[in-house]
Structure 1
């Protein structure tokens, strides 16, 4: 195995605990981060689904107008 590959592998293994430790020292507990990430996830889901639903609503309304 090459030396840079080993360094990369070990860095990736150590990153999650190191990030949690740094964030905890920064004043945010893991529970706070779970809340923030959950809200971010919800916002992304809403942002991705909203255009799709608006398109479906417009299509439905156009079809309804054509029928009448």
Structure 2
């Protein structure tokens, strides 16, 4: 059984190395970057209003927090 597990592990490792051969890694990275860019573009289009509102609220909260700190000092 151990020999079968070792053979299976060697086969899987060889397969992953073969998939990355001949600039396969470069193609994978470029495909991942393209997919990430597309996903972030779609996300930003759908959530633009909430992101702006959330950012403004965070800025206001930070300003209020600084004002409170300055008063207590």
TM-score bracket for this pair, using the shorter chain length: 0.3 to 0.5
Normalized against structure 1, the TM-score is what?
A: 0.39
